[in-house]
Amino acid sequence: MTVIAFLGAGSVVFTRELLADLLSFDELRGVTLALHDIDPERLETAEAIARRTAEQLGASPVITASLDRRAALSGAGYVINAIQVGMHAATVRDFELPAKYGVRQTIGDTVGVGGIFRALRTFPVLDGIAADMRELCPDAWLLNYTNPMAMNVAYLAAIAPDLNVAGLCHSVFWTVHDLCALLGVPLDEVDYRAAGVNHQAWLLRWEHRGESLYPRLDERLSGDPELRRRVRMDMYRRLGYFPTETSEHSAEYVPWYLHHDAEIERLRIPVGEYVRISEANLADYATTRAAVLAGEPLDLHREATEYAPQIIHSIETGTLRRIHANVANRGLISNLPEGFGVEVPCTVDRLGLHPERVGALPPQCAAVNRGFVSVGELTVQAALTGDPRLVRQAAMVDPNTAATLTVDQIWSLCDDLTNAHGDLLPEPLRAPAPL
């Protein structure tokens, strides 16, 4: 029987959506769902949601729940990773401490000082997951949703190159979905291809019946000054290719916007947005828990199916699909560093997930990506070597941080974040970094 392990199952809203997608496939209605979380209450809630979802969909999976990760991983064919190390409290620290130094962030989970320290909190847990998988389910697919996606994929490629790893994010799909809606073009009639790094991939081709839709987008932008007041639209107009992450998130990957009050106003950038999202997630969790414990039906309506259920269904049934996923760069994008996590088109079939070689990105796109990648490479190397100076150096080359702070301020900020996160960080990186 197919066993699907959920790590971080207490991310209950996301777990509910994934379960609804999985159990909607006829061939997956009898799988084993092995739920794991380190929080007993959240695990209890996740199990209740799983049982309610199965009941509403008329499915009959075997459902287990355990605080022991190894119990969930034993014999798994698929491992869905959605952990958040440190939860809301760590997120708040990642925003409040940089803000005291004048660093503005919007989401802070992928790059920048927030992304660096989120990665460093996550890597020790990835060490444990990889070791357990090698022992208990070495052939399983690790389907990672945890951010910072590109850094996590690169770190796993370095410590566990033998594992099957794919990082999954819906930003490419929803970017195309929303652009098609903007132009009034049916999504199912559109072909597209994107590549780059997660949260900063580029829409290289976007065509309706063989005709590029970019000229139509240009025309739409030329007649709508308010539409031009978005970061992604501004980046597209200047770089020639549309970036595949939201405007607020895209703003913090480059040095051009957040350091300037006028740009924040012009492009309507919501500074500190992820703290508000995180607070809303806590409220959603409380509402969902109360509803499921009260016996109320869950809202299982889904506009689109997440990638993990599609991958599992394709491998189990041989159904051919094409998606975009994050994998280690092994000759896939020639003008980005080898080994780092890149987002590329992939096909999926009974034999697994197969990344497609893209070749060279447009040079301006690769140049912007390299600022992102340099931060990630140094962060991964900091964890692999235990060198705390590399943490500071990662922050020094981060585009947004470097545009805002002096090097002494960057060093001090990293010291403060290190002290604040304490034993969540790898032990060697808790030490001061000498100048």
pLDDT band at 215 (very low <50, low <70, confident <90, very high): very high
Look-up: residue for tokens 């189990």?
Answer: 316
pLDDT for position 365 = 98
**Catalytic residue (choose from 170, 177, 208, 260):** 170
Any idea how long the chain is? 435
Count of other CB atoms within 10 angstroms of residue 261 = 9
Look-up: residue for tokens 């969540």?
Answer: 424
Query: CA 264, 201, 365, 235 torsion: positive or negative?
Result: negative
pLDDT band at 97 (very low <50, low <70, confident <90, very high): very high
CB 231 within 8 A of CB 237: no
Give the distance, in angstroms, between the CA of residue 249 and the centroid of all CA atoms in the same chain. Answer: 12
pLDDT one-digit tens code per residue, 9-44 = 988 778 889 999 999 999 999 999 999 999 999 999
Residue among 238, 166, 255, 229 nearest 202 (CA): 238
pLDDT band at 420 (very low <50, low <70, confident <90, very high): very high
Examine the pLDDT at 1 and tell me if it is beyond 90. no
pLDDT for position 167 = 98
pLDDT for position 11 = 86
Question: Mean per-residue pLDDT for 274-290?
Answer: 89
Could you tell me which residue, 316 or 302, shows the higher pLDDT? 316
pLDDT one-digit tens code per residue, 366-412 = 999 999 999 999 999 999 999 999 999 999 999 999 999 999 999 99
Examine the pLDDT at 330 and tell me if it is beyond 90. yes
Examine the pLDDT at 176 and tell me if it is beyond 90. yes
How many percent of the chain have pLDDT more than 90? 90
Q: What's the start-to-end Cα distance of the chain, in Å?
A: 56
- Return the axis-axis angle of helices 363-385 and 231-239, rounded to nearest 10°: 120
pLDDT for position 68 = 98
Mean pLDDT value across the chain: 96
Residue among 388, 430, 425, 395 nearest 410 (CA): 395
pLDDT for position 303 = 84
pLDDT one-digit tens code per residue, 105-143 = 999 999 999 999 999 999 999 999 999 999 999 999 999
Q: What whole-number distance in Å separates Cα of residue 11 and Cα of residue 66? A: 15
Examine the pLDDT at 434 and tell me if it is beyond 90. no
Query: CA 302, 284, 148, 160 torsion: positive or negative?
Result: negative
- Burial, 76: exposed, middle or buried (Cβ in 10 Å; 0-12, 13-18, 19+)? buried
Examine the pLDDT at 69 and tell me if it is beyond 90. yes
| All residues at 6 or more sequence positions from 306 whose CB lies less than 8 Å from its CB, including other chains | 17, 18, 21, 168, 170
How many percent of the chain have pLDDT more than 70? 100
| All residues at 6 or more sequence positions from 367 whose CB lies less than 8 Å from its CB, including other chains | none
> Strands 211-212, 200-208: parallel, antiparallel or unpaired by DSSP?
antiparallel
Examine the pLDDT at 159 and tell me if it is beyond 90. yes
- Burial, 351: exposed, middle or buried (Cβ in 10 Å; 0-12, 13-18, 19+)? exposed
CA angle 274, 280, 282 (to 5 degrees): 110
Q: Would you put residue 143 in left (φ > 0), alpha (ψ -120 to 50) or beta?
A: beta
Give the distance, in angstroms, between the CA of residue 355 and the centroid of all CA atoms in the same chain. Answer: 18
pLDDT for position 153 = 98
Instruction: Provide Rg for the chain, Cα atoms.
Output: 21
| All residues at 6 or more sequence positions from 248 whose CB lies less than 8 Å from its CB, including other chains | 106, 107, 231, 269, 270, 273
pLDDT for position 302 = 85
Residue among 33, 34, 52, 42 nearest 10 (CA): 42
Q: What whole-number distance in Å separates Cα of residue 409 and Cα of residue 241? A: 34
What is the residue type of 180?
C
C-alpha to C-alpha distances, 387 to 114, 130, 429, 432, 434, nearest whole angstrom: 19, 22, 6, 10, 10
Look-up: residue for tokens 């590399």?
Answer: 390
Locate the DSSP E strands across 226-320: 242-243
Could you tell me which residue, 300 or 218, shows the higher pLDDT? 218
Residue among 372, 352, 376 nearest 166 (CA): 352
324 is catalytic: no
